[in-house]
């Protein structure tokens, strides 16, 4: 007997909340339904957290259901109140319009646009902009109970602190209006989103019931966290973006190669499209032979291919192998090499180059010249994957990768890079 899609999503840890679980399960097991998920253009790219929604949409589509991706040209001008204690900056209209197109192009990678379950991408500015403020308040606003809106955790937190503007407070009404319009236009009967959106999701369900009398569904995915409970990319500075110009394919690949053993099995369940048996096998490998990192390598390859394509993934994998002595650094293209070495936070060294013992200190692989000499004497220092035998050896111009880089390694795993600056 085939696994029902809701059961599969639950097995993967992708269901935090649902409206009436049994009714939703029956709806998903029946005739194809239309569902939607929204993506607001509050940045020039989607991030790792959005990938949870994208793969969930893809799974639902593969089960025969019709996805609608809403790129929020309207809601992106407002901004959903976040857990931060400050108001969002309101971006300029033309900036948001540019971001809408960038995010539309990103979303397209994950959905199929032909066949009986063909996807659609729409912009909620289409139905929001023509509605006057008075009409919106009379036809939509009258259905919202202020007490329930104030009960949202993020709103309560803001009211207890610096407060919240009417602009951000009204976001829930706009998102509910989206669900109502999609229900009217396309027969949409399911909205998905993150668990932090649960109040907004259920507000849409309630609005549709009040306006049309119809019963519809909502489903929220949980926040994806590490085994220790911390968030992935928990600050703006270490956000894992889906745009290769913001997070390189190499950095994206390497992020998943380096995830902890305790985290890799849950991440495979969420993001991998392998069979359950394959995922269970990789989870067993992570538990039984963690030193092989088989599960991490499989996760990194599959996810990087999903986000950046097979060609970029192969380049990222080649760079990873070469940096750790399993391939030729000179064979890497300049873009991949630059991106990979940027992840090492390279130091700079002026030409003409000093001897290897000083390069090891400059790269941070040794605390002193004497420590560097010991490492070299023990055969533990490598320059561009070649073991350094002479502490006084000086690299020449032919050794510079891409005309400006030196890659140093101490032992098997400790890497550093130097950028050579010519005076």
What residues form DSSP beta bridges with 220? 17, 193
Average the pLDDT over 234-251 and give the result.
83
Burial of 204 (0-12, 13-18, 19+ CB in 10 A): buried
pTM above 0.85, yes or no: yes
Assess whether pLDDT exceeds 70 at residue 12: yes
pLDDT band at 304; cut points 50, 70, 90 = very high
User: 37-49 pLDDT, tens per residue?
Assistant: 999 999 999 999 9
What is the rounded CA–CA span in Å between residue 362 and residue 387? 18
Nearest Cα to Cα of residue 383 among 415, 351, 342, 353: 415
Average the pLDDT over 125-130 and give the result.
96
- SS3 call for 13: coil
* Angle at alpha carbon of residue 271, lines to 313 and 36, rounded to 5°: 115
CATH number of 344-423: 3.10.290.10
Assess whether pLDDT exceeds 70 at residue 366: yes
* Interacting residues of 228 by C-beta distance below 8 A, sequence separation 6+: none
* Interacting residues of 153 by C-beta distance below 8 A, sequence separation 6+: 199
Q: Give the per-residue pLDDT at 235.
A: 47
User: 200-235 pLDDT, tens per residue?
Assistant: 999 999 999 999 999 999 999 999 989 888 888 644
Average the pLDDT over 394-402 and give the result.
92
- What is the 3-state secondary structure of 297-359? HHHHHHHHHHHHCHHHHHHHHHHHHHHCCCCCHHHCCHHHHHHHHHCCCCEEEECCCCCHHHH
Mean pLDDT of the chain: 93
| DSSP label of 291 | G
User: 149-182 pLDDT, tens per residue?
Assistant: 888 888 888 888 888 888 889 999 999 999 999 9
pLDDT band at 237; cut points 50, 70, 90 = low
pLDDT band at 2; cut points 50, 70, 90 = low
Q: Structural domain boundaries of the chain?
A: 5-224, 344-423
What is the rounded CA–CA span in Å between residue 418 and residue 350? 10
Q: Give the per-residue pLDDT at 233.
A: 62
Q: Give the per-residue pLDDT at 45.
A: 96
User: 309-360 pLDDT, tens per residue?
Assistant: 999 999 999 999 999 888 899 999 999 999 999 988 999 999 889 999 999 9
Q: Give the per-residue pLDDT at 47.
A: 95
CB half-sphere exposure, 406, CA atoms < 13 A: 29
Q: Quick check: 267 and 71 in contact, CB under 8 A?
A: no
Read off the tokens for 249.
């394919």
Average the pLDDT over 70-81 and give the result.
89
What is the rounded CA–CA span in Å between residue 144 and residue 205? 12
Q: Give the per-residue pLDDT at 159.
A: 85
Q: Give the per-residue pLDDT at 79.
A: 81
**Cβ neighbours around 212 below 10 Å, total:** 12
User: Domain 5-224, CATH 3.40.50.620 — does that match?
Assistant: yes
End-to-end, the C-alpha distance of the chain in Å comes to 71
Q: Give the per-residue pLDDT at 1.
A: 37
């Amino acid at each position: 007997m085939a696994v029902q899609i809701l059961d599969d999503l639950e097995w993967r840890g992708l269901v935090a909340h649902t409206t009436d679980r049994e009714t939703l399960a029956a709806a998903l097991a029946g005739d194809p339904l239309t569902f939607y998920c929204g993506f607001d253009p509050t940045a020039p790219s989607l991030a790792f957290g959005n990938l949870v929604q994208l793969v969930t949409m893809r799974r639902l589509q593969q089960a025969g259901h019709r996805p609608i991706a809403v790129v929020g040209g309207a809601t992106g001008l407002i901004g959903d109140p976040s857990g931060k204690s400050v108001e969002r900056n309101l971006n300029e209209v033309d900036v948001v319009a540019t971001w809408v197109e960038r995010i539309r192009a990103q979303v397209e990678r994950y959905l199929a646009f032909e066949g009986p379950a063909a996807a659609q991408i729409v912009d909620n500015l289409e139905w929001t902009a023509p509605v006057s403020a008075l009409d919106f308040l009379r036809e939509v606003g009258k259905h919202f109970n202020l007490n329930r809106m104030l009960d949202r955790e993020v709103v309560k937190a803001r009211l207890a602190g610096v407060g919240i503007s009417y602009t951000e407070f009204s976001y829930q009404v706009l998102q509910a209006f989206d669900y109502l319009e999609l229900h009217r236009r396309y027969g949409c009967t399911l909205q998905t989103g993150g668990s932090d959106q649960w109040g907004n999701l259920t507000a849409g369900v309630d609005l549709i019931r009040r306006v049309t009398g119809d019963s519809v569904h909502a489903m929220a995915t949980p926040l994806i966290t590490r085994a220790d409970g911390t968030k992935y990319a928990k600050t703006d500075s270490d956000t894992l973006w889906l745009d290769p110009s913001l997070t390189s394919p190499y950095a994206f690949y390497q992020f998943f190669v380096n995830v902890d053993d305790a985290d890799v099995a849950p991440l495979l369940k969420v993001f991998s499209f392998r069979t359950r048996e394959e995922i269970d096998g990789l989870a067993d490998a992570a538990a039984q032979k963690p030193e092989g990192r088989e599960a991490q390598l499989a996760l990194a390859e599959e996810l990087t291919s999903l986000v950046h394509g097979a060609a970029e993934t192969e380049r990222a994998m080649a760079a990873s192998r070469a940096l750790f002595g399993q391939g030729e650094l000179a064979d890497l293209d300049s873009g991949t090499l630059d991106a990979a070495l940027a992840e090492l936070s390279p130091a700079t060294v002026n030409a003409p180059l000093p001897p290897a013992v000083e390069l090891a200190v400059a790269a941070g692989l040794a605390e002193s010249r004497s420590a560097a000499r010991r490492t070299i004497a023990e055969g533990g220092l490598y320059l561009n994957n070649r073991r350094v035998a002479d502490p006084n050896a000086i690299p020449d111009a032919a050794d510079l990768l891409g005309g400006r880089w030196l890659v140093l390694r101490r032992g098997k795993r400790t890497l550093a890079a130097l950028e050579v600056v010519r005076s």
